Copies of this chain bind each other. A is one copy, B any other.
Amino acid sequence: MQESATKAQVEDVVLRLEGMGYAVHRSSGANRTILGVVSDGPVSGDPRLVEILDGVQEVVPITEPFKLASRAFRPQGTVIVLEDVRIGGDEVIVMAGPCSAESEQQVHASAAAVKRAGAKILRGGAFKPRSSPYSFQGLGEDGLRMLHDAAKAHDLKLVSEVMDTSQIALVERYTDILQVGARNMQNFSLLRELGHVRKPVLLKRGISATIEEWLLSAEYVLGGGNMDVILCERGIRTFETYTRNTPFPS
């Protein structure tokens, strides 16, 4: 509460919060009263709604808004098993490949190099999200087929990007992991549909997404029943233009 808050204003805020179903604990100091708000059962509103009431200084959230994505829910972590490849286990699994599939020859040469270098998963785009409509937009299903054949020929798993709900069935047919690109990290229609897919989802971090927003996006997929979400840190946008993105430590 503000320093200038009256007793009546404090009472009003307490009543509203209790009306929503929260338990309210008061800490009264010489200058200021702080209200601790805790929910023990079902409640009917977001406590931040009281921020507009008279006498309220600010509302400070204390716990994370995500549930299924939190360590509290799954303390042992997640291991995703694709036959002999275990993502999230003791081994570091590398995924590598070309930005986009361009030709049979290029894709096969890439897959051979990727295998030789010790990676386990081929990556490559058939649908490309391009900032400019004038850039190459990908080969579509032809590209997926090339990538699938090259992965198989070199005993690699395949991950490729899906950009829209209408592409899910197609991308699922050819790949082992479906990738959500940084630009689609908050395409909630897409995320929700991917919650019903039975293949892992690789979720790239949005270029300016906070870690909280990223985990909330994972929550959309997890909430649909697909518990196999891989988080891909790809760097964030900052004032520094020396590198394309600023990598964030994991």
Interface residues of A (CB under 8 A from B): 3, 23, 25-30, 32, 34, 36-41, 46, 57-58, 60, 62-63, 65-67, 72, 129-135, 163-166, 183-184, 186-190, 192, 207-208, 210-213, 216-217, 219-220, 223, 236-243, 246-249
The answer to whether B40 and A29 have CB atoms under 8 Å apart is yes
The answer to whether A133 and B223 have CB atoms under 8 Å apart is yes
Number of copies: 4
Q: How far is the CA of A242 from the CA of B215 in the complex (A)?
A: 13
The answer to whether B23 and A29 have CB atoms under 8 Å apart is yes
**Which chain B residues border A41 with CB–CB below 8 Å?**
30
In angstroms, how far is the closest chain B Cβ from the Cβ of A75?
9
**Which chain B residues border A30 with CB–CB below 8 Å?**
40-41
A188's partner among B58, B65, B163, B186 (CB-CB below 8 A) is B163
In angstroms, how far is the closest chain B Cβ from the Cβ of A79?
22
A-B contact pairs, 18 of them (CB 8 A): A23-B29, A25-B27, A25-B34, A27-B37, A27-B38, A30-B41, A34-B36, A34-B62, A129-B188, A131-B216, A163-B189, A166-B189, A208-B237, A237-B239, A238-B246, A239-B239, A246-B248, A247-B248
